[in-house]
Each structure stands twice: as C-alpha cells, then as structure tokens.
C-alpha cells in the first residue's frame, strides 16, 4: 500500500520541515476542513493514484497532522493499521468507535493514528497526529460526503 508508506515518511518529514504557506480552508474531493489561524497547510492536497495527501502543521511546531484518503478494498483498514503500527513502532491497533487506533513514540515524538474505512464508498482514511494531540482537535470537525470517513475523538 503505497500511501501507507507515504504517510509515515510525510509525518516524520513534517516534524523537521518549517511551515511554508498560510492557513486556509482546506477542501478536497473527499473532505473539507477549517484550519485554525495558527496552523498552515505545509503540503497538499497532493493527488497520487486516486489518493489525496495533506500535511498540516502548527506554526510553533508543537503538533502536525497528515491526512490521507484513497481507494481501498475491504480489510485495508486493518492492514494499514497493522503496517503503520509496525513501521512506527506503535502499540497494537485496537478497534474503537468504528475506527482502528494506535499510538506511537518515534524519536521522542508521541503520536496517535486513526484509520477509518468506508466499505460502501471503498475509501480509506489514515489520520496521523504527531505531537500535542489537543492542538489538533479541529480535525474531528471534518466534513465529508462519506460520513464513515470522519474521524472520532479517541
């Protein structure tokens, strides 16, 4: 799963890359999101093989998020969570509130990953929050025509 590898690399890159652009409402074919004034869109939305990747960062670098949405087949959520947990050295993935979650601590940066699958639309969401997770609460106000993709607070 190519975008699973991308989100791992992209999140680590975001932690060391200074923000380049100003925050703005974010809109893709899969979701829309209002970013707070102290957040910036670092990269994206970038389309790759039907998937959309977006990297967001807080201006003071206390938190970053990576959102990836793309096509999937049934069972990809479990595979993505297992592979992501293994790659990031995370806790065992656990199913909660219609999503699969795990935490990680990579190079001293703590994070939380949420994976959701909309089986009817055949779409997968991978949300990575690295750093101070409370700063990223705005992601739970995501709007989407695919209601099963909208992440819930852990």
- Dihedral sign, Cα of residue 86, residue 139, residue 68, residue 124: positive
Is 17 within 8 Å of 42 (Cβ atoms)? yes
pLDDT of 9 reads 43
Instruction: Indicate whether 6 pLDDT > 60.
Output: no
Q: Is the pTM of this model over 0.75?
A: yes
Of 52, 68, 48, 44, the residue nearest 129 (C-alpha) = 68
- Specify burial of residue 64 (Cβ count, 10 A radius: 0-12, 13-18, 19+): buried
Per DSSP bridges, beta strands 123-131 and 63-71 are antiparallel
Confidence class for position 7, pLDDT limits 50, 70, 90: very low
Residue that the structure tokens 């799963």 belong to: 1
Residue 25: per-residue pLDDT: 80
Residue whose pair of structure tokens reads 């039907």 in the numeric block: 50
Return the number of other C-beta atoms located less than 10 Å from residue 150's C-beta.
18
pLDDT per residue over 91-141, tens digit each? 999 999 899 999 999 888 999 999 999 999 999 999 999 999 999 999 999
Q: Give me the domains of the chain, ranges plus CATH numbers.
A: 2-149 (3.40.1000)
Q: What would the pLDDT profile of 45-58 be if each residue is shown by its tens digit? A: 999 989 999 999 99
Three-class SS state of 98: coil
Helices vs. strands in the chain: H and E counts, helices first: 2, 9
Q: 8 near 1, Cβ under 8 Å?
A: no
């Amino acid at each position: 799963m190519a975008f699973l590898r991308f989100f791992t690399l992209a999140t680590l890159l975001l932690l060391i890359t200074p923000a380049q652009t100003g925050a703005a409402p974010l809109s893709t074919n899969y979701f829309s999101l209002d970013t707070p004034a102290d957040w910036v869109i670092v990269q994206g939305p970038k389309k790759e093989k039907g998937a959309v990747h977006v990297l967001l960062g807080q201006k003071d670098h206390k938190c970053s998020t990576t959102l990836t949405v793309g096509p999937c087949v049934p069972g990809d959520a479990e595979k993505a969570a297992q592979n992501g947990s293994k790659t990031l050295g995370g806790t065992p993935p656990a199913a909660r509130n219609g999503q699969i979650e795990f935490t990680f601590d990579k190079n001293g940066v703590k994070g939380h990953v949420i994976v959701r699958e909309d089986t009817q639309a055949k779409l997968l969401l991978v949300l990575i929050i690295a750093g101070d997770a409370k700063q990223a609460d705005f992601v739970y106000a995501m709007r989407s025509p695919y209601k099963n993709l909208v992440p819930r607070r852990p």
